Amino acid sequence: MSWIQIWKKNKQRYGWRHVNKACDSILTKYNQPLPTRVVALARGGLIPATILANKLGVRHVYSLGISSYEQQHDGTEIAKEFEIYQRIPTNIGHVDRDDRVLVVDDISDKGTTFEFAEQYIHDKMGGKIVTAALVIKPGTKYTPTYYHDVVDDDKWVIFPWEK
Protein backbone atom coordinates (compact mmCIF):
# COMPACT_ATOMS: atom_id res chain seq x y z
CA MET A 1 0.00 0.00 0.00
CA SER A 2 1.41 3.39 -0.94
CA TRP A 3 1.73 6.16 1.64
CA ILE A 4 -1.00 8.11 -0.17
CA GLN A 5 -3.42 5.19 0.21
CA ILE A 6 -2.55 4.90 3.90
CA TRP A 7 -2.81 8.67 4.34
CA LYS A 8 -6.29 8.79 2.82
CA LYS A 9 -7.51 5.83 4.86
CA ASN A 10 -5.87 5.84 8.28
CA LYS A 11 -4.90 9.29 9.50
CA GLN A 12 -3.92 9.96 13.10
CA ARG A 13 -3.83 13.70 13.80
CA TYR A 14 -2.00 15.18 16.77
CA GLY A 15 -2.52 18.75 17.92
CA TRP A 16 -0.28 21.10 19.85
CA ARG A 17 -1.72 19.90 23.16
CA HIS A 18 -0.59 16.35 22.38
CA VAL A 19 2.85 17.55 21.27
CA ASN A 20 3.36 19.45 24.54
CA LYS A 21 2.03 16.50 26.55
CA ALA A 22 4.40 14.16 24.68
CA CYS A 23 7.40 16.43 25.37
CA ASP A 24 6.46 16.67 29.06
CA SER A 25 6.08 12.88 29.20
CA ILE A 26 9.55 12.40 27.70
CA LEU A 27 11.01 14.83 30.25
CA THR A 28 9.26 13.01 33.11
CA LYS A 29 10.86 9.73 31.97
CA TYR A 30 14.29 11.29 31.35
CA ASN A 31 16.54 9.87 34.07
CA GLN A 32 20.06 10.63 32.85
CA PRO A 33 22.45 13.55 33.20
CA LEU A 34 21.17 16.50 31.20
CA PRO A 35 22.33 16.59 27.59
CA THR A 36 24.87 19.20 26.57
CA ARG A 37 23.68 19.12 22.95
CA VAL A 38 20.39 18.45 21.18
CA VAL A 39 20.25 17.30 17.56
CA ALA A 40 16.97 17.56 15.66
CA LEU A 41 16.38 15.18 12.79
CA ALA A 42 14.95 17.41 10.07
CA ARG A 43 12.25 18.03 9.36
CA GLY A 44 9.93 16.28 11.78
CA GLY A 45 12.24 16.55 14.78
CA LEU A 46 12.88 20.29 14.53
CA ILE A 47 9.95 21.49 16.62
CA PRO A 48 10.00 18.73 19.28
CA ALA A 49 13.77 19.18 19.65
CA THR A 50 13.33 22.92 20.17
CA ILE A 51 10.62 22.37 22.78
CA LEU A 52 12.73 19.78 24.63
CA ALA A 53 15.89 21.91 24.44
CA ASN A 54 14.03 24.91 25.88
CA LYS A 55 12.56 22.85 28.72
CA LEU A 56 15.96 21.26 29.45
CA GLY A 57 17.82 24.57 29.23
CA VAL A 58 20.11 23.32 26.45
CA ARG A 59 21.37 26.14 24.22
CA HIS A 60 23.39 24.07 21.73
CA VAL A 61 20.83 22.77 19.24
CA TYR A 62 21.78 21.37 15.85
CA SER A 63 19.90 20.00 12.88
CA LEU A 64 20.69 16.95 10.78
CA GLY A 65 18.84 16.49 7.49
CA ILE A 66 18.61 12.90 6.28
CA SER A 67 16.66 11.43 3.38
CA SER A 68 16.23 7.67 3.05
CA TYR A 69 13.53 7.27 0.43
CA GLU A 70 12.44 8.71 -2.85
CA GLN A 71 8.79 9.45 -3.52
CA GLN A 72 7.49 8.41 -6.93
CA HIS A 73 4.75 10.16 -8.92
CA ASP A 74 2.23 7.43 -8.04
CA GLY A 75 2.82 7.97 -4.31
CA THR A 76 4.93 4.90 -3.70
CA GLU A 77 8.20 5.17 -1.84
CA ILE A 78 11.44 3.63 -3.00
CA ALA A 79 14.13 3.07 -0.39
CA LYS A 80 17.54 4.47 -1.24
CA GLU A 81 20.84 4.92 0.50
CA PHE A 82 20.86 7.61 3.13
CA GLU A 83 21.53 11.07 1.80
CA ILE A 84 22.63 13.76 4.22
CA TYR A 85 21.33 17.05 2.89
CA GLN A 86 22.10 19.09 6.01
CA ARG A 87 25.18 18.29 8.06
CA ILE A 88 26.09 19.08 11.62
CA PRO A 89 28.62 21.94 11.64
CA THR A 90 32.21 20.73 11.66
CA ASN A 91 33.45 23.42 14.05
CA ILE A 92 31.59 22.12 17.13
CA GLY A 93 34.17 19.45 17.95
CA HIS A 94 33.59 16.39 20.07
CA VAL A 95 31.76 16.49 23.37
CA ASP A 96 33.21 14.82 26.45
CA ARG A 97 32.94 11.05 26.53
CA ASP A 98 30.31 11.05 29.28
CA ASP A 99 28.26 13.98 27.94
CA ARG A 100 24.80 13.21 26.61
CA VAL A 101 23.67 14.18 23.11
CA LEU A 102 19.89 14.06 22.76
CA VAL A 103 18.72 13.15 19.24
CA VAL A 104 15.06 13.97 18.56
CA ASP A 105 12.58 13.07 15.84
CA ASP A 106 8.80 13.21 15.72
CA ILE A 107 8.30 9.48 15.03
CA SER A 108 10.22 6.24 14.84
CA ASP A 109 8.37 4.61 11.97
CA LYS A 110 10.69 2.08 10.37
CA GLY A 111 13.59 3.07 12.63
CA THR A 112 16.25 3.20 9.95
CA THR A 113 16.68 6.98 10.20
CA PHE A 114 17.36 6.75 13.94
CA GLU A 115 19.82 3.87 13.40
CA PHE A 116 21.75 5.84 10.81
CA ALA A 117 21.60 9.13 12.73
CA GLU A 118 22.77 7.59 16.00
CA GLN A 119 25.95 6.22 14.40
CA TYR A 120 26.58 9.34 12.32
CA ILE A 121 26.16 11.72 15.27
CA HIS A 122 28.31 9.57 17.54
CA ASP A 123 31.06 9.57 14.90
CA LYS A 124 30.85 13.36 14.48
CA MET A 125 30.28 14.46 18.09
CA GLY A 126 31.14 11.60 20.42
CA GLY A 127 29.48 11.41 23.80
CA LYS A 128 26.61 9.15 24.78
CA ILE A 129 23.68 9.26 22.39
CA VAL A 130 20.20 9.40 23.90
CA THR A 131 17.21 9.37 21.58
CA ALA A 132 13.63 10.58 21.84
CA ALA A 133 10.53 10.51 19.64
CA LEU A 134 7.03 11.73 20.31
CA VAL A 135 5.55 8.49 18.95
CA ILE A 136 6.75 5.13 17.68
CA LYS A 137 5.18 2.36 15.64
CA PRO A 138 5.21 -1.24 16.94
CA GLY A 139 7.04 -2.45 13.82
CA THR A 140 9.96 -0.06 14.18
CA LYS A 141 13.46 -1.55 14.09
CA TYR A 142 14.65 1.14 16.51
CA THR A 143 13.05 1.98 19.81
CA PRO A 144 14.23 5.39 21.05
CA THR A 145 15.47 5.71 24.61
CA TYR A 146 12.40 7.84 25.36
CA TYR A 147 9.04 8.11 23.63
CA HIS A 148 5.52 9.09 24.60
CA ASP A 149 3.06 7.02 22.60
CA VAL A 150 2.69 4.02 20.29
CA VAL A 151 0.55 4.35 17.16
CA ASP A 152 -0.56 1.49 14.89
CA ASP A 153 1.73 0.59 11.99
CA ASP A 154 -1.01 1.35 9.46
CA LYS A 155 -1.62 4.90 10.74
CA TRP A 156 -0.34 7.96 8.90
CA VAL A 157 0.58 10.38 11.67
CA ILE A 158 -0.01 14.08 11.04
CA PHE A 159 1.53 16.60 13.42
CA PRO A 160 0.31 20.20 13.70
CA TRP A 161 3.25 21.61 11.74
CA GLU A 162 2.38 19.41 8.74
CA LYS A 163 -0.32 19.96 6.12
Confidence band, pLDDT 50/70/90 cuts, at residue 160: very high
For position 1, what pLDDT does the model report?
A: 57
Domains, the chain, in order of start with CATH, read: 3-157 (3.40.50.2020)
The pLDDT, as a whole number, for residue 5 is: 58
pLDDT at residue 6, rounded to an integer:
53
Question: What average pLDDT does the chain have?
Answer: 89
pLDDT digits (tens, 9 = 90+) for 34-43: 999 999 999 9
pLDDT tens per residue, range 136-156: 999 999 999 999 999 999 898
Confidence of residue 92 (pLDDT cuts 50, 70, 90): confident
Give CA–CA dist 54/57, Å, rounded: 5
Average pLDDT, integer, range 110-124: 93
Q: What is the pTM of this model?
A: 0.88
Asked if 100 and 34 count as a contact pair (C-beta separation under 8 A), the reply is: yes
Q: Give the C-alpha separation, 102 to 127, whole Å.
A: 10
pLDDT tens-digit map of 119-130: 999 998 999 999
Whether residue 78 is predicted with pLDDT greater than 90 in this model: the reply is no
5 vs 144, more confident? 144
Q: DSSP states of 99-149 as a string?
A: -EEEEEEEEESSSHHHHHHHHHHHHHH-SEEEEEEEEE-TT-S---SEEEE
